[in-house]
Amino acid sequence: MTAPPATATQGAPARLLRRILLQGRYESLTMLRNGEQLILAAVLPLLALVGLTVTPFLDGFGASRINVAVPGILALCAMSTAFTGQGIATGFDRRYGVLRFLSTTPLGREGLIAGKVLAVLAVLCLQVAVVALVALPLGWQPPASGWLPGLTLLALGAVAFTALGLLVAGTVRPEATLAITNLLWILLGALGGIVIPAERLPALAQGAVHYLPSGALGEAMREAFLHGSLNGGAALILLLWTVLAGAAAIRWFKWN
Amino acid sequence: MLRVVNGVSLMAERGQVTALLGANGAGKTTTIECAQGLQKRSGGSISLLGQDPGRAGAELRSRVGVMLQDGGLPPSARPIPLLRHIAGMYARPRSVDDLVGRLGIDTFARATVRRLSGGQKQRLALAAALIGNPEVLFLDEPSAGLDPQSRQLVFELISELRAAGMGIILTTHLMDDAQRLADYVYIIDAGRNVAEGTVSQLLQRDPVVEAGTDHVRTLVFEAPPGLDFTGVLPDAIAVSETRAGSYVASGALTPRDLASLTAWWAAHDVMPGSMSLAARSLEDVFLDISGKDIR
C-alpha cells in the first residue's frame, strides 16, 4: 500500500505518557479486582506480619519484633505483587493473546511493559499504606531517615521482581508460571532472607541468601527501616538482578 | 529455521477487500502476522502504508486495526470499559457508543469476555480493531463462530468500511465469505500463493474448458436410481450417480446439452424429483487448485 495524504480523520496515537498511564491504571484495577491477587498481595503478608510479632523468630534483631518484621513484610509485598502476581497475570495474558493484541495498538510492547511496571508500583504504594496502617498501631516506629532509602530500594526491588516475573511468564506455559512463581514465593518467603534475616537461617543457606533478590531486598529494607541508612551492597545486587533479568526477558520473552 | 511461508506475494489496495484463502495451516495467519509486524520474518519485504511493519512505531500502529483469530481480549474484562480503555490509546478514536450499538455489543455489555459466546467475542474483537479509526484493517477469520444474523451484520459493516475507503485484508478458509466479500483473492497453499484474481477471474479459471468458452456449471438432479446416461452428453461431461438416485453432471454445459438430457428424460418417461443448475463456486476452484487431500 502506498502512503496516503494525512487527513484529519485518520488514526493517530494518543501521547506516550497518556498511553502508559492508561495501561498502568487498567492493570492496577485488574489486579485489585482479582481476589487471588488480593490474598497474595495483602492477606498473606498481613498474616505473616501478625505471625512474626507473636512468635520469637525475630527476637534479638531490633528493639521490637514489629520493627524487624515490617521491613521484611514490605519486601514480601513487593515480591507478591511484582513477581508472583504480575508473572501469573502476564502468563495468562500471553495465553489468551492479550499481549499480541495490545502490541498491535499504539500502546505497543514497550508501553505494555511500562504499564505493567507502573501498575506494580501503584499497587505496592497501596500495600505500603495498608501495612503501615496495620503496623503503626501495633507499635512500629520507623526512623524518619529510613523512608527515602527504604521506598527507593523497595521500588528497585519491585522492578527487579517484575523483570523476573516477566521472564518466567514469557518463557513457559501459564500453568508452569503459576506453579513456579507460587513455589518460589513460598521458598523465598520462608528461606530467601526476605522476612527472616539470613543470620537466622541454616548456615548452608546464609552465604547464598545475600545474593538472592529476596535476601538483598530484605536486608536493604531492614537497613533502611531499622537504622535509617542505605545498604549499598544490597542495592547493587538488586540492580544487577534487574539488569540481568530484564536483559534475559527482552532476549527470550515469547509474545505468541 | 522453519519456513512456514515461502513464496507469498500479495498487494492490497485501499477501498478493497483482499482475501487470503487457504486450508487450515496453509500459512494465511503467518502471512498477515508478518504484515502486521507481529512475527519477525526471515526474508522478503513488506510495506504497510509505505513503512516496514517490523519496525512499526505508535504512529503506524494507530493507522492499522487488527482483529486476531483468537480475539486477544482479556477474559476478566467487560466489553464497554475494555473498548473505552483501548480507545484511550488513540488521539481520534471512533465513538465507543456508536460501535457498541452498531455491533450489538450492548446486548451483552454486562458479561465478562470469558462468558461471551464465540460470535459475541468476534464482534467485540472487531469493535476493538475498529476503535482507532484505522485506514487498514486486518481480519483473521472474521466470521468464525458467528451466527447467521451476526455474520450478516459483520459483512454489512465490512462492505461499508470498504466503501468508505478502508483497505481490508482478511483471511478465511470459508469460500463463501471470500465469494461474498472479496474484491481480490489470493489462494495460499503450503506457504505459497498458488492463484490470484478477482472472484469472477478465479471462477473462469477452469482446468477443463479453454478460456473464452462457457463457464463450468454443475447440474444436480434426483431421478430413479441406476439410470445409464452414457452417450447422452458429450464425453467431457461425466454424469455420475453420487448416491442412489442422485446424479451430478459437471462441465461446460451448453443449452444443447440440457436439451439432450431433457429429451432423454422424455423418451424414457423420467420425471426428476428435483434439479438445480449452479455455476462453479470458489470452493470448486479452490479444490481444483489445492487438491482434495486432507492436510
Q: What is the pLDDT of chain A when averaged over all its residues?
A: 92
B62 vs A contacts (CB less than 8 Å): 11-13, 105-106
Beta strands in chain A (DSSP E): none
Banded pLDDT at A54 (limits 50, 70, 90): very high
Q: Out of A14, A96, A108, whose CB is closest to B91? A: A14
Exposed/middle/buried for residue A30 (C-beta within 10 Å: 0-12, 13-18, 19+): middle
Search chain A and give the residue with CA nearest B14.
A1
**Distance (Å, whole) CA A33 – CA B194:** 50
**Distance (Å, whole) CA B147 – CA B116:** 13
B72 vs A contacts (CB less than 8 Å): 96-102
What confidence tens digit (pLDDT) does each residue in A69-123 have?
999 999 999 999 999 999 999 999 999 999 999 999 999 988 999 999 999 999 9
Q: Does A233 touch chain B (CB under 8 A)?
A: no
Which of A8-12, A213-217, B144-148 comes out lowest in average pLDDT? A8-12
Distance of CA A84 to the CA centre of its chain: 8
For residue A7, is pLDDT > 50? no
pLDDT of the residue at A2: 39
Question: Average pLDDT of B273-287?
Answer: 81
**Distance (Å, whole) CA A224 – CA A152:** 10
| Contacting A residues, span 94-133, partner chain B, CB-CB under 8 Å | 96-108, 111
Q: Does A254 touch chain B (CB under 8 A)?
A: no
Long-range contacts of A47-52 (CB under 8 A, 24+ apart): A48/A73, A48/A76, A48/A189, A48/A195, A49/A73, A49/A131, A49/A134, A49/A135, A52/A195
Query: In the numeric block, which cell numbers belong to residue B179?
Result: 465469494
CB count in 10 Å sphere of residue A37: 20
Burial B206-242 (b: 16+ CB within 10 A, else e): beeeeeeeeebbbbbbebeeeeebeebbeeebebeee
pLDDT of the residue at B210: 46
For residue B212, is pLDDT > 80? no
pLDDT of the residue at B232: 92
pLDDT of the residue at A4: 41
pLDDT of the residue at A6: 40
SS3 B17: strand
For residue B203, is pLDDT > 80? no
* Shortest alpha-carbon distance between residue B117 and chain A (Å): 15
**Which has the higher per-residue pLDDT, A112 or B23?**
A112
**Which has the higher per-residue pLDDT, B55 or B137?**
B137
Question: Average pLDDT of B106-129?
Answer: 94
Banded pLDDT at B56 (limits 50, 70, 90): confident
* Shortest alpha-carbon distance between residue B122 and chain A (Å): 13
Query: In the numeric block, which cell numbers belong to residue B33?
Result: 502476522
Query: Which one of A90, A95, A101 makes the best mutation probe of the B interface by having the most chain B beta carbons within 10 Å?
Result: A101
What confidence tens digit (pLDDT) does each residue in B57-92 have?
899 999 999 999 888 999 999 999 999 999 999 999
**Which has the higher per-residue pLDDT, B294 or B225?**
B225
| Contacting B residues, span 101-160, partner chain A, CB-CB under 8 Å | 128, 132-136
**Distance (Å, whole) CA A205 – CA A120:** 29
To the nearest whole percent, how much of chain A has pLDDT over 70? Answer: 96
CB count in 10 Å sphere of residue B137: 22
pLDDT of the residue at B126: 95
The ipTM value here is 0.87
* Shortest alpha-carbon distance between residue A239 and chain B (Å): 29
pLDDT of the residue at B123: 93
For residue B45, is pLDDT > 50? yes
* Shortest alpha-carbon distance between residue A18 and chain B (Å): 8
**Which has the higher per-residue pLDDT, A234 or B281?**
A234
Query: Which residues, including other chains, have CB under 8 Å from residue B270's CB and lie 6 or more apart?
Result: B223, B224, B227, B264
* Cα–Cα nearest to B255, from B287, B229, B277: B277
Q: How far is CA B261 from CA A125, B230, B247, B254, B272, in A?
A: 84, 11, 12, 11, 11
Banded pLDDT at B52 (limits 50, 70, 90): confident
To the nearest whole percent, how much of chain A has pLDDT over 90? Answer: 82
Task: Check B37 against A18: CB less than 8 A apart.
Answer: no
pLDDT of the residue at B295: 56
Banded pLDDT at A177 (limits 50, 70, 90): very high
pLDDT of the residue at B138: 94
For residue A1, is pLDDT > 50? no
* Shortest alpha-carbon distance between residue A202 and chain B (Å): 43
A33 vs B contacts (CB less than 8 Å): 76
Q: How far is CA B253 from CA B208, B230, B232, B241, B257, in A?
A: 12, 16, 12, 17, 6
To the nearest whole percent, how much of chain B has pLDDT over 70? Answer: 92
SS3 B249: strand
Task: Check A96 against B72: CB less than 8 A apart.
Answer: yes
**Distance (Å, whole) CA B20 – CA B182:** 9
Task: Check B59 against A13: CB less than 8 A apart.
Answer: yes
Q: Does B88 touch chain A (CB under 8 A)?
A: yes
Q: Out of A18, A99, A105, whose CB is closest to B61? A: A105
**Which has the higher per-residue pLDDT, A3 or A56?**
A56
Phi, psi for residue B277 in degrees, rounded to 5: -125, 125
Q: What is the pTM of this model?
A: 0.83
Banded pLDDT at B12 (limits 50, 70, 90): confident
**Which has the higher per-residue pLDDT, A224 or B285?**
A224
Sort strands B246-251 and B217-222 into parallel, antiparallel or unpaired: antiparallel
Query: Which one of A104, A109, A112, A253 makes the best mutation probe of the B interface by having the most chain B beta carbons within 10 Å?
Result: A104
Banded pLDDT at B6 (limits 50, 70, 90): low
Phi, psi for residue B97 in degrees, rounded to 5: -60, -40
